[in-house]
A and B are shown apart, each in its own frame.
Chain A
Amino acid sequence: MSKSLNLYIGGAVATAVALTFAANFADRNVSQVPEKPAVMSAGASNPDMLFIAAANAAPEHVGVFGLGRVALPEEVHAWDLDISPDGTGLPAGEGSVLDGEELFSENCAICHGEFAEGVDNWPKLAGGDDTLADDDPLKTVGSYWPYLSTTFDYVRRSMPFGNAQSLTDDEVYAIVAYILYSNYLVEEEFVLSSDNFLDVEMPNAEGFIVDNRDEAEYALWTGEPCMSDCKDSVEITMRAAVLDVTPDETLAGQQDEDDDANDHDGADDDAMDTLSEETETATESASFDAELAAKGEKVFKKCKACHQVGDDAKNRTGPQLNDLLGRTAGSADGFKYSKTFTELGSSGTVWNDETLAAFLANPKAFAKGTKMSFAGLKKENDVQAVTEYLKSFSD
C-alpha cells in the first residue's frame, strides 16, 4: 500500500492532480479557500493595480493576485547563494591548502580544533574513516558528507559561527581545501578552484539510500496488534536512574519552599539580582549605570556563546570575563591565548573603558591574529552598554 511518504518517489500521483486538487484538506469539513477571489478577477486590467505597479517603478508583475513585486537581479544574486552537488551556484575562485590552514586557524580552530579534530562538544570535521558501521560512528566531512558542495555552501553561508558570511569566496575555497587536507583527501600543495571542484571524490558519496521505511518497516508493523497474553514475562533491562544524567529540575525553576516565591524565572532573575546588588554597592562611586548595564546584558547575548560571567564562570571557547575591568590582557587563568594576546599582556595592556571599546569595535584591528572570530559591535552604544554590564561582574 502506498504511503503518503512515497507519493513523490513513486511518482504515482501526477503533480498536476495535486495542483487542481488544490486543497487535500477539503475533506476536513472546511470550505475550500478560493484560488482567486472574484474581486480579483479583473486582474491587471484593474486601473488601481496598474497604478500600484507603475508607482513601484519595477517590472510589471501580474500573477494571480498581483501581490508582491518583481525581485531585482541584484536581490536574487544577494540571497540565492546555495550550491548544488552538480556545481550549480558555485562562484568563481580558488584557494590553497596552505592559505586554508592559516584561515582555519584564525576563524575555525577555536571550535573545530587546529586539525579539524573538534573542541569539546563542537563538531569534528576530520577523521572517522570506515567507522560508519561501528557501534559509535564518527561522522565528519571526510567520513560522512556525500557532497563537497555541501561543505562549501555551509562554510560560505553559515560560518564562522557568530560571524557568518564574512569570508570571501577565495577564503572559502581555501578553508574547504584545508578541511579536505585534514581528512587526507588531497595533498598539501592542492589548490581547490571552481575548475577542479567537481573532480574531488568524497569517500561516502555512495553511502546513502532514499528512505525505504515503507518497504523495510511499515509492512512489518501494520495490522491488528496483540491485545492479551502478548508475552510471558516482563523484566526491567535498563533504568534511567542508573545513568543519572537527567538535569536537576530545582535548577530550572522549582524553588525550595523557603525561596522567594516570586523568583520564578531562573537564570535571568539571578543575573538581575546580581545586577541590583551591584547597583547598591556601586552607587557610592556613582560611576555605575544600572540601566545601561541592563541593556548591556542584552547585547552580551552575542558574546555568551563563547564567554561566561557570574558565579561559576569558566573559560570556554573564550576566557571567563569576571573582573575583566582592570585585568591585564591575556591573563585569565588557564586560558590558551593567541600569541597576539600574550604579547598585549606582556606589553602592559590593561582592560579599561578605552581599550575595551577599541577592541570591541574592531577586534581584529585591535589585536591582529586574535582567535576571537566575532566581527565586533558596530554601535558605540552597544559597546558602552556591554562594558557597563561587564563592570557589574568586576570588583
Chain B
Amino acid sequence: MSDSIKGPKTSRRQFLTGAASVGAGALAAGSANAAGDPLITEVQDWASGFGAGVDEVPYGLPIEFESDVIRRNVPWLTADAISSINFTPIHALDGTITPQGCAFERHHSGSIEMRKQDYRLMINGLVDTPLVFSYDDLVRFPRENHTYFCECAANTGMEWAGAQLNGAQFTHGMIHNMEYSGVSLRTILQEAGLDAAGDLKDKWVYVEGADASSNGRSIPMEKALDDCLVAFTANGEALRQEHGYPVRLVVPGWEGNMWIKWIRRIEVTDAPVESREETSKYTDTQENGISRKWTWAMDAKSVVTSPSPQAPIKHGPGPLVITGLAWSGHGAIKRVDVSIDGGKNWQEARLAAPGEKMALSRFYLDIDWDGSEMFLQSRAMDETGYVQPTKTQLRDVRGLNSIYHNNCIQTWWVKSTGEAENVEVS
C-alpha cells in the first residue's frame, strides 16, 4: 500500500488498532482460553466501585470514547471559516435523527448569538397589516411537529468532476434530519392577512435572516402556504446557535440555503427579489453555459454510510451489516436497492421504517461477506417513481460544470482488508 494515500492511511491505522483489539476480544469471547476472558472472570472496577453521581454533568455530552464522532471541515473549500460549511459524521451515526451537536453547519457571516428577548420577526409587504412578533408571541400560535431532512444544495458538489473526498462524511455529510416544533408559515401569513396580496398564485414571500450576511431567498407563495415551518426547537430542545437559535425557517425537501436561520423578516412580494443567493449562487450552469435557476427541490438520493472509507470492516468475513441513508425532496422513500458488484446486480434493502415525506430513511442489507472485494452502491426510489441516477446519467444531461444538486449513485470500493475508498466505476 502506498503512503501517499492519506484518507485510507488514517483508516488503516484505525483499522489495525481496531482489528487488534477486536481480534483479541473475539478470540477470548469466541473460544475462551483456559483461564477465560478476564473481563468476565475478574471483578472489574466498575463492578465493584462507584460510578459518577447524578449532576456530575448537568447537560450530558457523548462519552470520551466517542470523541471522533464530530463535525469536520474541509479547509481548502472556502476562503474562511466565517463563511463556510462543515460536515455531519454520517458514517458513525445510526437511525435517522441527527443529534444537533454534530449536525452540519453552514454560515455566511458566522453564527450569531441572539437572546430570545432580542428576537423580532417582521412580516410586511403585500399583507393587510404589517406585524412584528416577539419570541413570546410566536410560541402562542398553534404548534406542529415534523421531522425533515435539511440538505445543502452543494452536498456531494465536490464530486462532480470525479471521486475526490474519501469518506461519506465529506461526500454526503451536508445533511441533517431533525424533529422540529414550530408554527406553520401559513399561520403567520394569515395572521397578517393576505387579502392585500390579491391573487396568490403569482405571489412570493421573501425571507431573510438577522445576521450580517442578510441571507435572503424568495419562495413561491404556494410553498409558503403548504408546509414551511417557523421552528423553535429541534429534537426536543431549543435550536442550537449554529442552526439559527432562537428561530429558523424550515422549507421541507428544498435546498438548505432557503432554511433561513435567525429569520427576522417575511415580505410578501409580487415577484422574486433575485437576491445574491438565488442568482450568483444556487443556480446550475449547464454544458451550453445556460444556467437553471429556482432549482429548489432536492432529488432522491442515498449513500451507504457503513462500510465506507471512515468506517472500514474490522471483523473479517462473515455476517456484515451494510447500512445507509436515503431521502427525497419530492416525498417519501419507497425503496432502496444495494449492489455489492458496482451496479451489475442489485438486491432490495430493508427499510428500518416506512419512508416519511422529506425525511431521512435508514436502510439495512444484512449479508454473509465472503471477504472478497466489493463495489458498494445504493440506489433510492421515491414515491413519485423517480430512481436515483448514476453520475454518468447526470453528467450526460448537465455536463461537468454543475456544483449543486449532485444526487448521483456513490461507489465505495471495499477491499478484502475491509478498508474502503471513494471511487468511480464504469
Residues of A within 8 A of B (CB): 1, 3-5, 7-8, 11, 13-16, 18-19, 22-25, 28, 30, 33-35, 37, 61-65, 67-71, 75-76, 79-86, 111, 120-122, 132-133, 135-137, 139, 141, 144-147, 149-150, 153-154, 157-158, 161-162, 164-165, 207-213, 216-218, 220-223, 225-231, 233-241, 243-250, 252-255, 257, 261-262, 264-266, 301, 304-305
Closest to B400 in A: A135
Is B369 part of the contact surface with A, judged by Cβ < 8 Å?
no
| A154-B342 in contact given A137-B285, A208-B283, A264-B64 (Cβ < 8 Å) | no
Does the CB pair B291–A208 fall under 8 Å? yes
Partner of B6 from A246, A257, A262 at Cβ < 8 Å? A246
30 contacts between A and B (CB under 8 A): A3-B330, A7-B222, A15-B201, A24-B226, A25-B227, A63-B131, A65-B140, A67-B133, A67-B140, A71-B122, A76-B124, A79-B124, A82-B275, A84-B274, A85-B274, A132-B285, A135-B400, A145-B280, A149-B274, A208-B291, A225-B379, A227-B347, A228-B346, A234-B426, A239-B163, A241-B5, A246-B167, A247-B170, A252-B68, A252-B70
* Residues of B contacting A254 in the complex (Cβ-Cβ under 8 angstroms): 10, 14, 67-68
Residues of B within 8 A of A (CB): 2, 4-8, 10, 14, 17, 64, 67-68, 70, 72-76, 78-83, 108-110, 122-125, 129-134, 137-138, 140-146, 162-167, 170, 184, 186-187, 190-193, 199-203, 206, 208, 212-214, 216, 220-223, 225-227, 253, 264-265, 267, 269, 271-276, 279-280, 283, 285, 287-297, 299, 309-310, 330-331, 337, 341-347, 356-357, 375, 379, 381, 384-389, 393, 397, 400-401, 413, 421-426
Does the CB pair A19–B200 fall under 8 Å? yes
Partner of B214 from A3, A146, A158, A255 at Cβ < 8 Å? A158
Q: How far, in angstroms, from A108 to B264 measured CA to CA in the complex? A: 27
CB distance from B254 to the nearest CB of A (A): 9
Closest to B79 in A: A121
Does the CB pair B397–A220 fall under 8 Å? yes
| A164-B214 in contact given A19-B200, A150-B280 (Cβ < 8 Å) | yes
Please indicate which of the listed interface residues B170, B184, B212, B331 has the most CB atoms of chain A within 10 Å of its own CB: B212
Partner of A228 from B227, B272, B345 at Cβ < 8 Å? B345
Please name 18 further chain A to chain B contacts, defined as beta carbons within 8 Å, in addition to the given A76-B124, A266-B70, sorted by A numbering.
A8-B220, A70-B129, A71-B131, A71-B132, A132-B289, A133-B288, A137-B289, A211-B293, A211-B294, A213-B295, A228-B345, A231-B426, A237-B426, A239-B163, A240-B164, A240-B421, A241-B421, A246-B7
* Residues of A contacting B269 in the complex (Cβ-Cβ under 8 angstroms): 84
Does the CB pair A207–B290 fall under 8 Å? yes
* Residues of A contacting B295 in the complex (Cβ-Cβ under 8 angstroms): 211, 213
CB distance from B295 to the nearest CB of A (A): 4
Does the CB pair A79–B122 fall under 8 Å? yes
* Residues of B contacting A245 in the complex (Cβ-Cβ under 8 angstroms): 74, 76, 164-165
Does the CB pair A68–B191 fall under 8 Å? yes
Closest to B208 in A: A82
CB distance from A233 to the nearest CB of B (A): 7
* Residues of A contacting B140 in the complex (Cβ-Cβ under 8 angstroms): 65, 67
Partner of B265 from A16, A79, A164 at Cβ < 8 Å? A79
Does the CB pair B387–A223 fall under 8 Å? yes
Q: How far, in angstroms, from A19 to B220 measured CA to CA in the complex? A: 14
Does the CB pair B6–A133 fall under 8 Å? no
Does the CB pair B413–A236 fall under 8 Å? yes
Partner of B381 from A25, A225, A236, A237 at Cβ < 8 Å? A225
Q: How far, in angstroms, from A224 to B283 measured CA to CA in the complex? A: 30
Does the CB pair A68–B132 fall under 8 Å? yes
Does the CB pair B68–A13 fall under 8 Å? no
Please list the 6 inter-chain residue pairs (A to B) with the smallest Cβ-Cβ separation, ordered nearest first: A133-B289, A264-B67, A234-B342, A132-B289, A121-B79, A240-B422
Q: How far, in angstroms, from A150 to B274 measured CA to CA in the complex? A: 7
* Residues of B contacting A225 in the complex (Cβ-Cβ under 8 angstroms): 337, 346, 379, 381, 387
Please indicate which of the listed interface residues A25, A30, A37 has the most CB atoms of chain B within 10 Å of its own CB: A25
Does the CB pair B67–A154 fall under 8 Å? no
* Residues of A contacting B70 in the complex (Cβ-Cβ under 8 angstroms): 252-253, 266
Does the CB pair A235–B7 fall under 8 Å? no
Q: How far, in angstroms, from A81 to B216 measured CA to CA in the complex? A: 11
* Residues of A contacting B213 in the complex (Cβ-Cβ under 8 angstroms): 158, 164
* Residues of B contacting A233 in the complex (Cβ-Cβ under 8 angstroms): 426
Q: How far, in angstroms, from A5 to B293 measured CA to CA in the complex? A: 13
Does the CB pair A257–B271 fall under 8 Å? no
Does the CB pair B190–A64 fall under 8 Å? yes
* Residues of B contacting A14 in the complex (Cβ-Cβ under 8 angstroms): 201
Partner of A3 from B184, B192, B223, B384 at Cβ < 8 Å? B384
Does the CB pair B387–A249 fall under 8 Å? no
* Residues of A contacting B143 in the complex (Cβ-Cβ under 8 angstroms): 33
* Residues of B contacting A210 in the complex (Cβ-Cβ under 8 angstroms): 292-294
Q: How far, in angstroms, from A161 to B81 measured CA to CA in the complex? A: 13
Does the CB pair A63–B192 fall under 8 Å? yes
Q: How far, in angstroms, from A179 to B394 measured CA to CA in the complex? A: 35
* Residues of A contacting B293 in the complex (Cβ-Cβ under 8 angstroms): 208-211
Does the CB pair A61–B290 fall under 8 Å? no
* Residues of B contacting A220 in the complex (Cβ-Cβ under 8 angstroms): 389, 393, 397
Does the CB pair B400–A158 fall under 8 Å? no
Q: How far, in angstroms, from A68 to B379 measured CA to CA in the complex? A: 47
* Residues of A contacting B82 in the complex (Cβ-Cβ under 8 angstroms): 161-162, 304-305
Q: How far, in angstroms, from A151 to B199 measured CA to CA in the complex? A: 30
Does the CB pair A247–B74 fall under 8 Å? yes
Q: How far, in angstroms, from A25 to B279 measured CA to CA in the complex? A: 31
Q: How far, in angstroms, from A187 to B325 measured CA to CA in the complex? A: 54
| A236-B292 in contact given A246-B170, A257-B17 (Cβ < 8 Å) | no
Partner of B225 from A15, A67, A236 at Cβ < 8 Å? A15
Does the CB pair B291–A209 fall under 8 Å? yes
* Residues of A contacting B296 in the complex (Cβ-Cβ under 8 angstroms): 5, 211
